[in-house]
Structure formats: C-alpha cells, structure tokens
Amino acid sequence: MDRRHFIGGTAASGVMLLKARTAFGYEANSAVRLGLLGCGSRGTTVATSFAKNTPARVVALADLFPDQLAVGKAHFDAVNGALGVPGIDAGQMFRGHRAFEELAASSAIDAVQISTPPWFHVPHLEAVIAAGKHAYCEKPMGVDVAQAKQALEIGKRAEGKVSLDVGFQVRSAPPIAEVVRRIHAGDLGKLVCIEAHYNAPNAVSHSGAGWSADEFRLRNWLWDRVLSGDILVEQNIHVIDLCNWIIGSHPVKATATGGRNAITHQGDTWDNYQVTYTYPGDVHVSFSSTQWGANGFFDVTERVFGEKGIAEAPYSGPVRIIGDNAWAWSEGAAAAGSGAAFAANGAFSDNLEFADREKDRAFIESITSGKFHNQAEAGVETALSAMLGRMAGQRGHEVTWEEQLRHGERYTMNIDMRQFG
C-alpha cells in the first residue's frame, strides 16, 4: 500500500457485505469479534465506534487496573444491550500485567484494539500479531527509535496474514481526505511550504487514595515522557502525519526549540515545541504546539502553500483551497466551522466528526474481505518524524533522519509491572 493511500486516503463509505463464506472464514454479514486492550477514555470511545458503526462486536476487555475494567464492562454491557447482542462474558475479562497476553491468546476474539499508554503499544502489538490476531493499534508506533524499529519488524511478520491498522483516523475525515486528494491532483501546483500548529489544553490529572508512585505515573501517563513519548509524539503526531501524507515523504532533518515553561505538575513532558522540518525538494514545514491550561484554548490546522494557491485543513472551520483552483468543502456542518472544543477522548466534531467511523469501517472491511491492511511501515515513518523533532529540541541542534536512526534512542520505563498482578 503506497504512502499516499495509507490509512484512509479514500474514506470507506460502508462495510462490505459478503455473499458467502470467504477464504478467511467469515460468514456473510458475520461479526468480527473485537477485544479491547486498555479501557481508558480513548480506548472506550474507539471501541464504541466499532460497535455502533461496523459489524464488529466488543466481546472481551483487558486492563491493568480493576476499576477501569469494571467501568469498561458496565459501559459495553449497555452498548451491546442497546444493539441486541450479549454483554461481556466474565470469562473474557482480563486484568493485570499479563492481561494483554491472555487477551491475545483468547480463542473468542478475532481482533484486538490496542489502546494502552504509548510505551506499551509495541510490546502489546508483538503479542497480538504473534497470536495471529488482527490489530488496530493506536498511534504512535513506539516512543523511541528502538521501539519504532521493532514495530517495523512486527509489521513484516504480519504481512499477508492479518490486518494491522494504525490509529491515524484524521486521514479518514471526509473533508481532510478530499482536500489532500486535490493537493495530490495538482490543484496547488508545486508545494512550497506548510505552516501547522496544534494548540491544546493540559492533560487531565488523575489521583486516588493509596496509589503508589508507579501507579500514579501509569494513571497519569500523559505527563510522562517515557510512557507517552511527549506531546510531540503522542498528540501532535496527527498533524505531522498529515504533513507527511501531503508531501508524500518523511522529513530529512529538523531543528527545534521548546520547553516546560507553563506547567508545574509532576512529570517531565514539555508544554511547547517549535519545529522546522525540511523535506525532500527543500519543502519546509513550520510546526508549533502548546499544551497547558490557557483557558481551554484549542486550535489545530495546516496551511499548505503552493505556487497556485493555499489549502487550509483545520480541525474546525472551513476546509478550502484559495487560488487558481478555488474550492471549499460544503457538505454538512463542517463547512460552517462551529468552533469545536478539545475532546480528550478524541471524539471531535466539525471536520473530524466522521473520522473514527470511516477509519473503523475500513479496518473491519479489510478483515471481512480478506484484503488485509499493513500500515506498520507508514505508521513507523510518522512516529520517527515526530521523534526527529523531539530529538532536535531535546538536544538543541539540527538532527538528520540518518543521525536519528544511528543514534538508536531507547527509553527505559523503570517500573516493575509484576506489582500489578
């Protein structure tokens, strides 16, 4: 699958209905049995979208913590009940530090949605693919260079055997997909540069009586650079992914600044980055991000400058091309620009309203049709692009793509997970 069509280059309009048993064992209109690994806010949101928008059925849950597992069961029992299907069987509830292996080994599921903190994505993906299950893995594909290289090897083992999707659902948002299609068709002519930003409120804090320091870290993983990859790799990666998709390549080098200037909570993530990427053809991307209180301010956009015009692709507001080939998205509420608020669970409205739905449908269709996806390589490429900016900022000087790969960056979590048996 070439880079430009990776993850929803053309949005799926529905799920394929098969007339007979396929070569891969799925009956006509049969449900793909989905296990959710990580019952937090985002994981629950995506799995609910699978349940409501595709023939998939959530039949198993796994989480490190019993309280999150219990909340997940109550939620999906209600979701399944409204859909007229059974709730979650007690035998398909897996808890503790080995829960991911038990879920992957379950004969009751066909696919696993990996929605654990980013540091765990690659080891959990390893277990899921080794068990022969289809995988929907949230971004990023690793928090360091070592994990990214491991993810690439896992992708090679999955090729032609199972579907492996990466959670860059923004590519599947109909307005975004259409403006990128027009850019690729030449409506802007030669690309010159991109100006992009991701400004968001601070991550929500969690606290509980009797938590150890390790449990606090794991519950507040968004504050922790090792567990999250920092804001550039965990959150801002969506915008960097769109830049890669638009340009059709990864950056060759980056310079960056940033720091921890506003936030005072525990952890070591930065609250702002300013990155200049250089892409092949001397195309430059100027990217900036902020993540702190700031009265809940939220604004994400990309402006693509070409010789024939400018394309704008914000999360909220007009998606359009200004110039020789003027055009504007005019379907539904997205055209009006409702000023959508930040959604910590990723369930955005406005231009991203149908992003999860279309992404989920494409993944399930790839399974039922037997036309398996393998998005590991492109997912790793985007993860490394985000890491390149982070490394340039942390080291305080320009870093090239080749230098980053040679560096072999490796993060160590330093938590004994056996305490969460």
pLDDT at 26: 55
pLDDT at 30: 74
pLDDT at 203: 87
pTM: 0.90
CATH number of 173-351+380-407: 3.30.360.10
Are 3-170+364-375 and 173-351+380-407 equal in CATH topology? no
What sign does the CA torsion over 335, 336, 341, 343 have? negative
Percent of the chain with pLDDT over 70: 89
Query: For residues 379 and 406, what is the distance between their CA atoms, to the nearest angstrom?
Result: 19
pLDDT tens for 317-348 read 999 999 999 999 998 644 444 455 555 544 44
Query: Which residue bears the tokens 């870290």?
Result: 217
pLDDT tens for 65-80 read 999 999 999 999 999 9
pLDDT tens for 264-316 read 999 999 999 999 999 999 999 999 999 998 778 899 999 999 999 999 999 99
Locate the domains of the chain by residue range. 3-170+364-375, 173-351+380-407
pLDDT tens for 378-387 read 999 999 999 9
Task: At 211, give phi and psi (nearest 5°).
Answer: -70, 135
pLDDT at 100: 98
Q: What is the dihedral of CA 351, 357, 362, 367, to 10 degrees?
A: 160
Class of domain 3-170+364-375: alpha beta
